[in-house]
Amino acid sequence: MSDGFARGRRLRSTPALRRLTAQTRLSPADFVLPVFVKQGIDEPVAISSMPGVVQHTLDSLRKAAHEAAEAGIGGLMLFGIPGDKDAVGSQADAADGIVNVALQQLKADLGDELVLMADLCLCEYTDHGHCGVVTPAGVVDNDPTLDRYAAVAIAQAQAGAHVIAPSGMMDGQVAAIRTALDGAAYTETPILAYAAKYASGFYAPFREAAEGAPQFGDRSTYQMDPPNADEALREVAQDLAEGADAVMVKPALPYLDIITRVADAVQVPVSAYQVSGEYAMVEAAAAHGWVDRERAILETLTAIRRAGAGTVLTYWAVEAARLLR
């Protein structure tokens, strides 16, 4: 006899049933690990605001990359901290620049076992900490910055990057990079555009890790304003029109609605970056015993995937992969 209401609990009664009926699944291949490599250090340097994350030496990065490959994650996103900085970020495209040397070594070690992604920006490399060339008036100068991005993209591709990932949010950056790569015979090198990157309060720990905080002002004139959603779709559409092969939303958890809207609107892979502040909040709460750390890690990653991201950049990439075994 019918009782007149649905019994949703029937499909939640055992772990096996819950696994069978899960609508979102996590896989190690979904994850990309952001890594920091610093010139001129002999041992890895711990990042105080990001427990468990370090600035790597070249050797420790190679070890971490092998561990990442063994865990089965999808790839690495490389960020570099040079020994010397200047106004135009010269070390970003120098043959002996720290990221370019790291890419060469990792490509030699791993071949195509992991996708090696090179973040393309100038903030870690400039003495002023902004993402591009700055005018005497202190304004980030968009078009001269595109010339720098083009040069960096070629250097990263030459060093062995599988994917170039421009994050500076300059207008026209994807077109400039695509033109440069094609002109240098890297027509098969894809671009993952940080298309919807917001001027967020969740980046502070990253700026400790990458040593790239602005020395004056902020990045609100080139990164997106947090209240805006339709603008994200416009930025994504523009990057795709310029030649992006995949797009990213950054940050992730505060912008799940943006991830969903972007994923619904495009026919290319969508990534989301679970940024340093998201990581630090969970780690801090877990350290105080306020949340179950491992459960919170997997729940946040599931939320980002459920929102529509095919790939998640996360500092927990290797740990999460192991938790899923």
Q: How far is CA 47 from CA 27, 59, 166, 191, in A?
A: 27, 18, 24, 29
Sign of the CA dihedral with 235 first, then 239, 245, and 249 last: negative
Catalytic residue flag (residue 38): no
Separation of alpha carbons 18 and 30, rounded Å = 21
Cβ atoms of 223 and 135 closer than 8 Å: no
Cβ atoms 174, 191 nearer than 8 A = yes
In angstroms, rounded to a whole number, what is the distance separating the alpha carbons of residues 192 and 36?
19
In terms of Cα–Cα distance, which of 38, 25, 77, 103 is closest to 314?
Answer: 77
Q: Which of 52, 51, 55, 49 is nearest to 35 (CA)?
A: 55
Spatial separation of the C-alpha atoms in residues 127 and 123, rounded to whole Å: 8
E-assigned strands of the chain? 31-38, 45-46, 54-56, 75-81, 115-120, 163-166, 192-197, 246-250, 270-273, 311-313
| Rounded CA Rg of the chain | 20
> Known catalytic residue: 197?
yes
Give burial (CB, 10 Å; 0-12/13-18/19+) of 285. middle
Query: Rounded distance, CA 314 to CA 132, Å?
Result: 25
Catalytic residues: 197, 250
